[in-house]
Chains A and B, each alone.
Chain A
Amino acid sequence: MAETYTFDAKDLAEIEKLTAKYPEKQAAVLPVLWYAQDKFGHSDPAVQKLVSETLGVPEAHIRGVVSFYTQFYDKPMGKNVLDVCTCLSCQVCGGYDMLHYIEEKLGIKAGETTPDGQFSLQSVECLGACGYAPMLQVTNDKFVNHLTREKVDKLIEDLKAGNKPEFESNPMPQHEKGS
């Protein structure tokens, strides 16, 4: 399969801007990995090689970074990655129920990908939305809060149809009381 990946001129111009933020190139490893993962969908060894060559940072260093940070995917994932929080506040507000419901619905366990490549499912640590539990994050981007079975059903239908969730704002309850 050994796919090769490349950055075009526009990519390289963007990467130039990212590296300009720091006094040395190595500091741009995380932002450039993010840039690459956004473009290619993952950070597998071939992508790591590309980042290594682009920045002039050893491949072993890039590999170490990718393995350290959970949001970098060292292999291709499903088209949509569902990260269900099961940590502290979500745990006590039904996070595991939601995880198990999605497992059942998709016919896979946490850590697996559906055979059609549509969905990967993961049980993850606190995402910083504890007051809006239970919740999940879609492919390192938007949060979907206050999960119910109905909300999960709709989300999965939407994602199958190619519609990504919108940003959900959670206002300060204090502001709503009309102060």
Chain B
Amino acid sequence: MSNNWKSYKPLLIPAIPDLHEISVYEKNNGYQALKKILKDRKTWSPANVVNEVKTANIRGRGGAGFNAGLKWSFMPEPDGEPRYLACNGDESEPGTFKDRKIFEFNPHQFIEGAIIAAYAMHVEVIYVYIRGEYRPFVQKLQKAIDQAYDKGYLGKKILGSDFSVEMHTHMGAGAYICGEESSLMESLEGKRGYPRVKPPFPAQRGLWGRPTTINNIETLANVPLVMNHGSDWYLEIGPSTHPGPVLYGISGHVNRPGVYEYPAGMNIMTLINEVAGGVRGGKKLKALIPGGSSTPPLRADMLEGVTMDADSLREAGSMMGTAGMVVLDEDTDIVELVWRISHFYDHESCGQCTPCREGTGWLEKTLRKMKDGNGEMRDLDLLLAICYRMEGRTICALADAAAWPVRYSIDRFRDEFEKKCKKTVYAVA
């Protein structure tokens, strides 16, 4: 698919004026997937919808890349009591700014996807959790939800069927950790966002102790595509192990930053040089953070032939994350950068687990000292030792997300760290 991208027509956010208006969305095949399902419920029983989505292998766009249909299949059999879908629009991973595009330009495709997900999982209440900093986008989504209620796509007895579902927005108030799924549920319940110990998993005990599924906004916007065109069609877009369209958020030192939609598996250098117009000011590329602040940075020389999908990025030594690509030019001070990332995680750690609370603080302090020119060589070993004591030892993955950028940056840019360190000589008496 080397050059196919040039003729690619966006599917998640097509270039159609006023698509956020329900009438325009309807004219462009909108809510047809939902209608198709509700018209032929023999063919499209909830279990069959789950299977179709599972076959399509929509990999979660919130960071972990988990198969959405497979996740839905973990929901237990309905028992007549409430079950929930929580849509994750917290979008707080530095470098990530894509879900807001869906709220602004194509909210109904997400709403339709969420309704189908609710149908497939026998859910009657959907919450959309959106970071508090996105107030204007919450308002845009709320307007679209109101339109969907007016047209009978939400509410009681949808399109004359016996299927009913409510959708509510819930605004966060400034806490990165609330993007972590169990923290998100705590926040929805009106509490501080302390992540929960797992198991039990949300499908077993989620919101108010009831079965709950959490999906990212972009993940759900893919669902109508699969239901309209079939999983075979979907699997043809991008690599079959990581199929479908992806919203690539490109920021940093490029000429044309922004959110671009292309198939998964795009060549990274094509994205940087052709899509985003290359490194600005004619500078050389130094590094790329491929999928948000927690994904390990890759040196420019590690990017040859690497594509934006889980397999290729794993092989290259990083991760897809949120596909929030931060492009860094040759003048970037890696130590300053990594310090600022550590500052972020230190600020955002909820403080429940000692390795995370203390570890993020020590990483921040040690890196601050280093970037201010007061570091010593042995501090590099200290940093690595702190990372080791954080990884895999905590309630949620924030501690790992904080450790990885430090560990891999030291590994990949060691000379830059060493240059900032004082060469202390210990006299032996």
Residues of chain A at the chain B interface (Cβ within 8 Å):
21-24, 26-31, 33-34, 57, 61, 64-65, 68-72, 86-89, 91-93, 125-133, 137, 140-143, 167, 169-170, 172-175, 179
Which residues of chain B come closer than 8 Å to A131, judged between CB atoms? Answer: 97, 249-251, 257-259
Q: Is B365 an interface residue (CB 8 A)?
A: no
- Taking each of A26, A69, A141, which has the highest tally of chain B beta carbons within 10 Å of its own beta carbon? A69
Q: Judge whether A141 and B257 touch: CB under 8 Å.
A: no
- Contact A169:B344 (CB < 8 A) given known A70-B175, A131-B259: no
Identify which of B168, B173, B208, B258 contacts A24 (C-beta below 8 A). B208
Identify which of A34, A65, A87 contacts B132 (C-beta below 8 A). A34
Q: Judge whether B174 and A179 touch: CB under 8 Å.
A: no
Other A-B contacts than A69-B174, A88-B95, A91-B337, 16 sampled, CB-CB below 8 A, are A22-B190, A64-B192, A68-B175, A69-B173, A91-B336, A93-B251, A125-B92, A126-B96, A126-B344, A129-B97, A131-B249, A131-B250, A131-B257, A172-B105, A173-B258, A174-B10
Q: For residue A177, which residue of chain B has the nearest CB? A: B15
Interface string of B85-127 (1 = CB under 8 A from A): 0000001111111001100110000000000000000000000
Q: Judge whether B208 and A130 touch: CB under 8 Å.
A: no
Q: Is B172 an interface residue (CB 8 A)?
A: yes
CA distance A99 to B172 in the complex (A): 25
Q: Is B61 an interface residue (CB 8 A)?
A: no
9 contacts between A and B (CB under 8 A): A72-B173, A89-B326, A91-B336, A92-B332, A130-B96, A169-B104, A174-B260, A175-B15, A179-B15
Q: For residue B194, which residue of chain A has the nearest CB? A: A68
- Contact A21:B15 (CB < 8 A) given known A69-B174, A126-B94, A132-B257: no
* Interface segment, one of B31-39, B46-54, B133-141, B221-229: B133-141
How near does chain B come to A148, taking the closest CB pair, in angstroms?
15
Q: Judge whether B171 and A31 touch: CB under 8 Å.
A: yes
List residues of B (394-427) whose CB comes within 8 Å of A's CBs: none
Identify which of A28, A34, A91, A142 contacts B136 (C-beta below 8 A). A142
Which residues of chain B come closer than 8 Å to A69, judged between CB atoms? Answer: 132, 172-175, 192-193
Q: For residue B280, which residue of chain A has the nearest CB? A: A93
How near does chain B come to A40, taking the closest CB pair, in angstroms?
15
CA distance A30 to B127 in the complex (A): 14
How near does chain B come to A18, taking the closest CB pair, in angstroms?
10
Residues of chain B at the chain A interface (Cβ within 8 Å):
9-10, 13, 15, 82, 91-97, 100-101, 104-105, 131-136, 168, 170-176, 187-193, 208, 249-253, 256-261, 289, 293, 324, 326, 328, 332, 336-337, 340-341, 344, 347-348, 350
Which residues of chain B come closer than 8 Å to A132, judged between CB atoms? Answer: 97, 257
Q: Judge whether A30 and B256 touch: CB under 8 Å.
A: no
Q: Judge whether B344 and A33 touch: CB under 8 Å.
A: no
- Taking each of B96, B131, B133, B336, which has the highest tally of chain A beta carbons within 10 Å of its own beta carbon? B133
Identify which of B171, B251, B259 contacts A89 (C-beta below 8 A). B251
CA distance A23 to B207 in the complex (A): 10
How near does chain B come to A75, taking the closest CB pair, in angstroms?
16
Q: Judge whether A126 and B328 touch: CB under 8 Å.
A: no
How near does chain A come to B163, taking the closest CB pair, in angstroms?
20
Q: For residue B168, which residue of chain A has the nearest CB? A: A21
Q: Judge whether B258 and A126 touch: CB under 8 Å.
A: no
Which residues of chain B come closer than 8 Å to A30, judged between CB atoms? Answer: 170-173, 187, 190
Q: Judge whether A88 and B337 touch: CB under 8 Å.
A: yes
Q: Judge whether B252 and A89 touch: CB under 8 Å.
A: yes
Q: Judge whether B252 and A27 touch: CB under 8 Å.
A: no
Which residues of chain B come closer than 8 Å to A167, judged between CB atoms? Answer: 136
Q: For residue B15, which residue of chain A has the nearest CB? A: A175
